[in-house]
Amino acid sequence: MKKPIKKKILNIINHLTTVVLLLLLISMMFFVISSKASGGEPEVFGYQLKTVLSGSMEPGIKTGSIIAVKPGGDMTRFQPDDVITFMEEDGKLVTHRVTEVIASGDSIIYRTKGDNNNAEDINPVLSENVVAEYKGFTIPYVGYFINFSQSKNGAFLLLIPGFLLLGYAGISIWRAIRELELPKESVKEEEKSSSLT
């Protein structure tokens, strides 16, 4: 009775291992392909995934999270309390909350502040520099993984699950062949013993 239970548990572990490795491989392929197709940041259903590298928006958006932002549309539509992603002069993207909207002739200027910062941002944001709106979707700590995967070392290490999956598939095939050969050997042994008697 103990052997069938042990065999069932091993089969369940084998299947779970296969599923986890396969899901990991598929998710890595998805992130790599979507980031290459969009020219940088991965995009899902029209939302760009951005990595948060500072704690200026904590506790709502933690450092190392990924957030979904919606690019495009009228960038003059934002109101106080909206969270926007904008380009700073040095080309860095920042996601902060709008505190004030200032109409200046034909232009709209936003005053912004990080939720965790003591003061508003020094430079106001021109509506032309807004690239997207944060829609409230965040996954904590996954951004660390994405940043690492985009580095050379990370890309190399991400090949490991693929090799593990291939190795695991090879072991599974070898075990299946061995299990097929065992009944043949036992049949031959039975034939030998019956021919001797």
Q: Where are the domains of the chain?
A: 1-40+158-190, 41-151
Tokens 């969009």, residue located: 38
DSSP 3-state of 94: strand
Distance CA 124, CA 96 (A): 12
Contacts of 179 by beta carbon, 8 Å cutoff, 6+ apart: none
Q: Which of 54, 65, 107, 149 is flagged as catalytic?
A: 54
For domain 41-151, give the fold.
Umud Fragment, subunit A (2.10.109)
| Average pLDDT of the residues of the chain | 78
- pLDDT, average across residues 154-178: 71
The pLDDT of residue 121 is 93
Closest C-alpha to 97, from 121, 73, 76, 77: 121
- pLDDT, average across residues 107-111: 93
Is residue 136 within 8 Å of residue 65, measured between CB atoms? no
Bigger pLDDT: 40 or 97?
97
Confidence of residue 183 (pLDDT cuts 50, 70, 90): low
Reply yes or no on whether the pLDDT at 158 is more than 70. no
The pLDDT of residue 159 is 67
- pLDDT, average across residues 93-115: 92
Distance CA 7, CA 179 (A): 13
The pLDDT of residue 131 is 92
Annotated active-site residue 54? The verdict is yes
Confidence of residue 186 (pLDDT cuts 50, 70, 90): low
Is residue 78 within 8 Å of residue 135, measured between CB atoms? no
